[in-house]
Amino acid sequence: MYERFALIYDSPAGQLGQAALGLLDRGIDVLYAADLDEAMLLASQEEDRLGALLVPSSLNAGALAELIHRVAPRLPSGIETMVPIGLEPEPDVAALLRRAGVRWCLWEPYELRELRFVTVAALMAGNPGERRKALRVPTRVSAEVLQGETRRPGVLCDLSQGGAYLGVDPPFDTGSEVQMELDVPAASIFLRGRVAHAHGPELPPRDDLPGGIGVEFLEVPKRDRAVVGQLISELTQPYRL
């Protein structure tokens, strides 16, 4: 699905091996390095194919500094591709990462769909315009999906400026138009969209999503577009260092 790979640097305490398998299952190719020398070698040999650097947050400051200064710069988008993952680090380590320019993070406990999200965000680091347009932020927001006189309860599973995925059973037909009412903190908003793809509960698009519909938004009013943008910003905040 993605042209570039994620480089996962692990350590005995990092436990990112399971993360590597989870990303492979979700359409993201990975390369795995068990020590700094191997990470540097892969970053040198595969720099044109690498777009994300995932590292354990449990590494000490010295090891993180080595990755910051010797591995991340070899990736096309540099330090913005680096994502610390695991337990939230001590304030001094977090400050080191911020000063270096690290922007994305993922703290435990997390779901595999959140891991996929931050990895894709790092893969898009060199193209912020495309990221704002296409990056889908994971969430769990109550929703109602309407089509004519039919109203079905659902849940908003992810959201971008251009569309969303909603869990709804049974799904509406591909190509049909629907209206979505999202129960966001400020107020409910209504959005029109076209069903781009539909999935029954027995065959969801990924194993971390329910059956439902992928929707492309249509003619979003300025006010609602601003609310969607604000909601995306709020949903993204937990993944920002």
Which has the higher per-residue pLDDT, 49 or 169?
A: 169
Question: Taking residues 155-160, what's their average pLDDT?
Answer: 94
Question: Do 99 and 15 reside in the same domain of the chain?
Answer: yes
**Number of folded domains in the chain?**
2
pLDDT of residue 145: 97
Distance between CA atoms of 17 and 11, rounded to whole angstroms? 9
Domain that holds residue 9: 5-133
pLDDT of residue 132: 52
Question: Do 15 and 44 reside in the same domain of the chain?
Answer: yes
The pTM of this model reads 0.88
Are the C-beta atoms of 191 and 182 separated by less than 8 Å? yes
Residues with Cβ < 8 Å from 134, sequence gap 6 or more?
124, 160, 162
* Res. 199: pLDDT tops 70: yes
Pick from 38, 59, 48, 41: nearest CA to 102: 59
pLDDT of residue 239: 96
pLDDT of residue 38: 93
Domain end point (choices 87, 108, 133): 133
Are the C-beta atoms of 89 and 121 separated by less than 8 Å? no
Question: Taking residues 208-217, what's their average pLDDT?
Answer: 95
- Band (213; pLDDT cuts 50, 70, 90): very high
Question: Do 129 and 145 reside in the same domain of the chain?
Answer: no
Question: How many residues does this entry show for the chain?
Answer: 241
* Res. 32: pLDDT tops 80: yes
150: CATH: 2.40.10.220
